[in-house]
Structure 1
Amino acid sequence: MSLATLAIVLVYAVFIQWVWGWESVVSLWIEAGWTSGLIALLLLLATYVLRTWRIYDYFPTETAGRFGTLLRLTQVHNLLNIMLPFRTGEASFPLLMKREFDLPIARGTSALFVMRLFDLHALLAAAGTGLALQNGHAWAWGLWLVFLILPAGAFALRSHALRFAAKILPGKAKKLLDEVEAGLPANAGAFARAWGATLINWFTKIAVLAWVLCLLGDLNIAAGFGGALGGELSSVLPIHAPAGVGTYPAGITAGAVAFGAGASGPSLAELGRAAVNTHLLVIVSSMIGTALSLFAARPKTEG
């Protein structure tokens, strides 16, 4: 799979050279200023630290005093998600949590599922900001606010859902259901912290990617948010290609066009170059974050 991913990346590099030329692609950053690229990179790296803190707070007993190790684990998991196709990288999280922190597989899987629901909700809410800004009407912001607070209602009803599941599931599944319940936030405070960290993380990431797209592709704010949403949604769907090659820039382009970007001629060509640059920024930030996390990890103490 690693060889296949490498081959696809090389083909992608040749494709970029054939369609636009690497000089043309990189020239967008020269025009925008490398300082902008550095700021965007640092903000994306900050989201990785926040993502790690969310897990650190989610499992305070298991991860206590080992934030650096958890940062490395989170970065490896993120990099595998980017590089491996069809979301197969997700399986690494419960396995790594079991190896590093002796967390039961079922609990780690359940927690990952809950956090991914948080992520999807926050991603859509962040993109909805672009729509609300474009529309400007009070009712648009009202609908956005209702959508924003949906997870709070779902968490409030969790006990009813678990009791119902306990009634309809066979007795042998009770232990699994207990692990699923253990994978949920322990209380309202833990839920609020996890939810808040998720919102800040995704609003920051979508805002950064939207800013980069507006900067490089000369897009309006709505199209920038739409492009950022399209790219990130392409990375969470099962059709995600290795390293997001093809699918991530295509998602950016589709999202930006859906939110009003030009769909033909020079405008589309410029959007394509901006989408490729944004995709490369995501990959580079993940690789740098993983490399830096290796220095932060602490060895597991024995006894």
Structure 2
Amino acid sequence: MNDHIARAMTAKGKIRAVACVTTGLTNDICFLQGASPVVSLALGRALSGAALLGSILKQGQRLALKFEGNGPLKKLIAEADWDGALRATVAVPDAVADSVATAIGRAGFLTVTKDLRLKEPYSGTVQLYTSEIAEDLAYYLTDSEQIPSAVGLAATLTEDGRIGVAGGFLIQSLPPSDEAAVEAIMAVLEKMPPLSTLLSGGTSPEELLELLLADVEHYPLESNELFFRCGCSREKVERAVMSVGKEELRKMIEQDGGAEVGCEFCKKQYRIDRSELERLIAE
């Protein structure tokens, strides 16, 4: 099944639902990051969460989810663009723990940053609720954005430590609430098999939405592919290098004869030689 996201809306327009599969993307990004099994699970959930929240963005917009905790993983960032592009990075990719929540740590923060193409990006931060990622995102959406939300995320491992499946769903109740529809969906959620079981059985995002909204009149919206895209470029790297100041740039020339900067998302290495650093100092 190709990685993609599907959308649906209830007939009264009061509840929106999205579901996604990110298995291939997660495996590719875990390989780039050199992720351990538990970090791979965390990346699978976070990438799916970013895809779900990113599906609500308008053209040109993007968002970033940042989980920072006191666990061995330290920090995880997952980003989504409006068109389905995803990427992620983790501070300690080889972290070892007995669960995703333990890897992230019970104490810490979730920060959601949205670039809505306004003057400044919007950023909201909440304390980690359970460090299970799905519950943290639902807590953030309900508490910070005042949109009651149900979030389900799942990722599984194969015997060789790769991602077997990864995906999730997001259901949001828009004001004014359709209480009857909310109760019907909640009843389905209580009886539904584990999300990992459904995804492992081949349930598609479209089929997942049909299951979730089975007792509510609804209609499908558009679906689109999910794919990896890194936002790095030589121009952005040069701007980042310039931000350290002239003195640091001079030290780079004197001590190393240049600088080498790596992208944390795609791992591409950018070499900036002596003449280029001198040009940056002049600028």
Which TM-score band (shorter chain)? 0.3 to 0.5
Higher relative contact order (CA 8 A, sep 6+): 1
Scaled by the length of structure 2, the TM-score of the pair is 0.33
